Structure 1
Amino acid sequence: MNENHNGIEDKWQNKQARLILISFYFTQMIFILLSVSFLWWKGQLYAEVIPFADAHMWLIGICAGGLIVALEFVLIRYVPQHHFDDGGINQLLFARRSWWHILFIAIVAAIGEELLFRGVVQAWVGVWGTTLLFVLVHTRYLKKWVLVAFVAAVSLLFGYIVEWTHHLAPAIIAHASVDFIMGCYLRYAVKA
């Protein structure tokens, strides 16, 4: 009986994980299409906005990503787990993925969200307005004050990096780094 129950639970989790992955790709593609269309329409879609060939952009992005990951690991270590739980959504998104699929998810999320929030929205409502919208888009975190504060701090950091460098590349690199490392952590270090 218990073995049958575990099989049903595994099928349910697989179905949930698949639906979350489909939803993720769907929303990110909408973000990318809207952002690219808007930036192209405004004449702001050019290679200089995202200079990935510049080593300084990589250095800033990797350092910012490393700082965020270090802070996240401190929070995981010292904040009670129920304050830092997103309801298992990230676990379902990453837990059964290969490292290369986690990397792809991280890159897609970073490009989609940074193009939209830092590339389009920030020009209209500034860093603080963009942060508010960025937090609201992460609705699964809204009932957890630690997650809200963390996402807000990360968004402010990304916003000010873009303001400082006048480029999206460091924010995209930092965002992808954080998502990749934390996705691998959920996949390989955390037992569901």
Structure 2
Amino acid sequence: MTSEHLYSSRQVLYSFYITQFLILTVGVPVLWWQGKLQKNYFSFDSGSMWILGLGAAALILLVEAVLIKWFPQSWMDDGGINRLLFKDRSLVHILVISFLAATSEEILFRGVLQEWLGIWVTSVLFVLLHTRYLRKWLLVTVVFFISIGLGFLAESCQDLAPVIIAHSLVDFILGCYLRFCKLKHEL
């Protein structure tokens, strides 16, 4: 049974917002306590940070496109939760969801936890946050290696802007795919 039979789109959306605001409630004060809640840790005004973020997103999307082409759809399906999250949403709402998820998760994982736990342990925890993927070895593997890549990017730049940009763009493109393209194929 898929998640679409267990949960409504509204329940998934509410759960998403509650989860992300809880993550921000923990992440932002700890980031401040670590002394990293400052403008130069979020260099969205730097062209090089945008280039790095867009490049990372392009690489992730390319890998995901190849995996979608090579593997059965069931291997990349999270049980319908992502589809429920993005279905019936406007383009602006998909953008808001994508930016909120990327910002909150990157603040907590790359900004806060990675300093204490390192890239590898933080990546394991990042995968565990995405519990709906745990029954799919391919999704677990992909998310784990994406997390490692984002961890190295954040560490090398000492900035969260490129990882937030990459994460937002990946979520936005995949959200649009689930909302608009995948819906057409099902009709």
TM-score (norm: length of structure 2): 0.93
- What is the DSSP-based 3-state SS (H/G/I as helix, E as strand, rest coil) of the residue aligned with 2:8? helix
2:85 equivalent to 1:98: no
Match of 1:108 among 97, 100, 114: 100
* Pairing 1:1-192 to 2, within 5 Å after superposition: 16-191=8-183, 192=186
Unaligned runs of 5+ residues in structure 2 are none
- For 2:143 and 2:34, how far apart are their aligned partners in 1? 29
Residues 20-76 of structure 1, C-alpha deviations (whole Å, 9 max, x = no match)? 000001110111121111112232210111110000000000010011111111111
- Paired letter, 1:53: D
- For 1:95 and 1:40, how far apart are their aligned partners in 2? 35
Residues 119-158 of structure 1, C-alpha deviations (whole Å, 9 max, x = no match)? 0000010000100000011100001010000000110010
Q: Which moved more, 1:32-41 or 1:104-113?
A: 32-41
Residues 106-129 of structure 1, C-alpha deviations (whole Å, 9 max, x = no match)? 000000000000000000100001
- For 2:104 and 2:31, how far apart are their aligned partners in 1? 13
* Segments ≥4 residues shifted beyond 6 Å: none
- For 1:136 and 1:42, how far apart are their aligned partners in 2? 24
- For 1:42 and 1:67, how far apart are their aligned partners in 2? 31
Aligned residue-pair number: 180
RMSD over aligned Cα atoms: 1.2
Per the alignment, residue 8 of structure 1 pairs with: none
